[in-house]
């Protein structure tokens, strides 16, 4: 009996021992699993942290680059809109490239090379006007920041505004030509005994014509007759209608006539005659100054960086117009300055140029002196002071 009891106790102890071993193994397995899980999580966290750390410098570099770009263009960005005006005609034609970019005009020719920075860094309100008096009033009142106007009008506005504007560039030289209908004209001396149809009485065309005829030894009323008409269109009509007619006609009216009548010919270039009798030591090709760019003096001073960029853009625009007359004519026609066909023919003879700095002053100053000597009212009563020149 005692022997049986001892055997039972031994079996029970053996069972308890086996259960304890299984429990220990289970606990060890769970601990190992938890440890592995922690190691995996730690590895993922480290990878995420590494990726985050590697990304931050790239984002920082991009931000710094953007800040640098913004800093470089800071002086070019204007808070207020810029009012830019051009009188309808040749004074507006040199802006065709600039305004094509400004107004996002579509053309058959590629204008992607025209990177007009100033047009993209300010709101430029561009308007083409037809009345010189309207532009003059806007400049005097300070309502217009930049304007392309006749050279003598610039001097007049300067005097009437008490020096509030400056001339920054010459944008048009000569636009006047002697044209004939089926008659030979090789020199001014050939005008002896002839009648000239012209526009511009009391204005710059009369001064130019009077001075040239005087230099050629011809007296108006005795040796030659001048019939003045208010509008260039009237002169153009007379030139087309009369066989043997002689006219002093400006572009683009001249090109319009040339396209309509094969008997009309350009006889004499007034700019060549002017440079012969009134030589310019600085630039022998630019004596007569038809149009200029003017700017409000305060505007130029307060926005100097932007304005200098605008001048560079404008010069690039004039060069593009002269080099691409067909494409420029398309834009000029779309802006209703003149028809595209007439514009394309007229551009080479419209004197579209861009002179600034010392070349500007050396060309414009003697021209204004001649105008003032003949008729002081053409320049506003007196010649502008030195600060007239930007």
User: 64-77, pLDDT tens digit by residue?
Assistant: 433 433 444 556 78
As a whole number of angstroms, the distance between CA 385 and CA 2 comes to 141
Helix and strand counts by DSSP (H, E) for the chain: 15, 11
pLDDT of residue 352: 98
The residues, any chain, with a CB within 8 Å of residue 173's CB and separated by 6 or more, are 271, 285, 286, 287, 288, 289, 290, 351, 353
Q: What is the DSSP letter of 80?
A: S
pLDDT beneath 70, residues of the chain = 1-75, 105-110, 112, 281-286
Three-state SS at 216: coil
pLDDT of residue 195: 98
Domain span(s) for CATH 3.40.190.10 in the chain: 76-173+289-388, 176-277
pLDDT of residue 230: 95
Q: Which CATH architecture has domain 76-173+289-388?
A: 3-Layer(aba) Sandwich (3.40)
Strands (E), the chain: 82-87, 124-129, 146-150, 165-172, 176-181, 195-199, 225-229, 246-250, 264-269, 291-296, 352-355
Question: Would you call 305 exposed, middle or buried from its count of C-beta atoms within 10 A (0-12, 13-18, 19+)?
Answer: middle
pLDDT of residue 78: 82
As a whole number of angstroms, the distance between CA 208 and CA 188 comes to 13
| Peptide bond between residue 278 and the one before it cis (omega within 30 degrees of 0) | no
pLDDT of residue 111: 72
pTM: 0.79
Q: Which two tokens stand for residue 373?
A: 């000597």
As a whole number of angstroms, the distance between CA 153 and CA 166 comes to 12
The residues, any chain, with a CB within 8 Å of residue 155's CB and separated by 6 or more, are 368, 379, 380, 383, 384, 388
Helix axes 270-277, 204-215, angle to 10 degrees: 60
Q: What is the DSSP letter of 25?
A: H
Given CA atoms 253, 255, 256, 261 in this order, what sign does their dihedral have? positive
Q: Which CATH architecture has domain 176-277?
A: 3-Layer(aba) Sandwich (3.40)
Q: What are 154-203's pLDDT values in tens digits?
A: 999 999 999 999 999 999 999 999 999 999 999 999 999 999 999 999 99
For 182, other C-beta atoms within 10 Å of its C-beta total 13
As a whole number of angstroms, the distance between CA 196 and CA 228 comes to 8
pLDDT of residue 66: 38
Three-state SS at 112: coil
Q: Which two tokens stand for residue 117?
A: 């920075």
Q: If we measure between CA atoms, which residue out of 237, 188, 233, 232 comes closest to residue 210?
A: 188
């Amino acid at each position: 009996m005692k022997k049986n009891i001892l055997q039972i106790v031994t079996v029970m102890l053996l069972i308890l021992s086996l259960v304890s071993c299984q429990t220990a193994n289970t606990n060890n397995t769970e601990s190992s699993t938890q440890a592995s899980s922690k190691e995996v999580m730690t590895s993922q966290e480290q990878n995420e942290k590494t990726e985050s750390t590697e990304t931050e410098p790239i984002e920082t570099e991009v931000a710094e680059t953007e800040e640098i770009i913004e800093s470089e263009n800071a002086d070019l960005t204007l808070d207020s809109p810029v009012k830019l005006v051009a009188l309808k005609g040749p004074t507006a034609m040199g802006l065709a490239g600039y305004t094509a970019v400004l107004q996002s005009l579509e053309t058959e020719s590629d204008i992607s090379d025209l990177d007009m920075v100033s047009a993209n860094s300010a709101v430029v309100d561009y308007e083409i006007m037809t009345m010189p008096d309207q532009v003059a009033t806007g400049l005097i009142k300070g309502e217009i920041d930049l304007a392309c106007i006749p050279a003598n009008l610039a001097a007049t506005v300067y005097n009437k505004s008490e020096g509030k504007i400056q001339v920054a560039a010459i944008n048009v030289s000569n636009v006047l030509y002697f044209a004939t209908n089926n008659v030979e004209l090789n020199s001014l001396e050939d005008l002896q005994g002839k009648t000239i149809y012209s526009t511009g009485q009391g204005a710059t065309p009369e001064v130019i014509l009077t001075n040239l005829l005087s230099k050629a030894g011809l007296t108006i009323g005795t040796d030659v007759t001048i019939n003045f008409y208010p509008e260039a269109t009237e002169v153009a009509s007379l030139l087309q209608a009369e066989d043997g007619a002689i006219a002093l006609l400006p572009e683009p009216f001249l090109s319009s006539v040339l396209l309509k009548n094969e008997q009309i010919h350009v006889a004499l270039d007034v700019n060549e005659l002017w440079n012969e009798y009134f030589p310019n030591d600085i630039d022998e090709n630019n004596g007569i100054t038809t149009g200029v760019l003017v700017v409000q003096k305060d505007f130029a001073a307060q926005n100097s960086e932007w304005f200098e960029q605008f001048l560079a853009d404008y010069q690039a625009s004039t060069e593009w117009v002269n080099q691409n007359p067909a494409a420029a004519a398309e834009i000029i026609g779309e802006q209703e300055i003149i028809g595209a066909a007439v514009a394309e023919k007229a551009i080479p003879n419209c004197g579209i140029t861009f002179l600034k700095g010392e070349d500007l002053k050396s060309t414009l100053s003697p021209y204004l002196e001649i105008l003032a000597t003949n008729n002081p009212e053409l320049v506003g009563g007196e010649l502008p002071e030195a600060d007239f020149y930007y």
